[in-house]
Amino acid sequence: MLAADDFAIAWLRDWNRHDLDAIIDHYAEDVVFRSPKVLSFTGGKTDTIRGRENLRPYFARGLAFRPGLKFTDPMAAWDREGLALIYSGEDGSVAVETMTLDADGRVAEARVFYDRPL
């Protein structure tokens, strides 16, 4: 498994480059991704996306919606199973993302928290 701090550096780098293929590669095929922002993507039906093939269009939409997206001020904490990553967005928001990594070092489960209402 990739060391959690190396994972965090690569994850942030790929988001800041807006490299959708590299971003998606960080996630397992059967990933479970939860975020309150998913509610707008699913028309309020769910806050959860299951599977990498379903996560790709969600991330693509986010990158298109925020062309200036840049994550800064990262702080990471980790244990044997994954990490929590705190970062700031270019819009001044702060997010906390918890990620459970699988044996291949890919995100099996993720949950995102924000510092403000969406």
CATH number at residue 40: 3.10.450.50
Kindly report the number of other CB atoms within 10 A of residue 109's CB atom.
18
Mean pLDDT calculated for residue range 94-105: 96
Look up the domain containing 41 and give its range.
4-114
Mean pLDDT calculated for residue range 88-106: 95
Structural domain count of the chain: 1
Mean pLDDT calculated for residue range 77-106: 95
User: Would residue 18 be called left, alpha or beta, if left means φ above 0 and alpha means ψ between -120 and 50 degrees?
Assistant: left
| Rounded Cα–Cα distance for residues 101 and 32 (Å) | 11
Pairing of strands 72-78, 48-50: unpaired
- Per DSSP, 24 falls in state H
Going from the C-alpha of 82 to that of each of 8, 41, 45, 103, the distances in angstroms are 10, 26, 28, 10
| Rounded Cα–Cα distance for residues 35 and 114 (Å) | 9
pLDDT score of 30 more than 50? yes
Burial 78-101 (b: 16+ CB within 10 A, else e): beeebbbbebbbeeeeebebbbbb
pLDDT score of 4 more than 80? no
Query: Mean pLDDT over all residues of the chain?
Result: 94
CB 75 within 8 A of CB 69: no
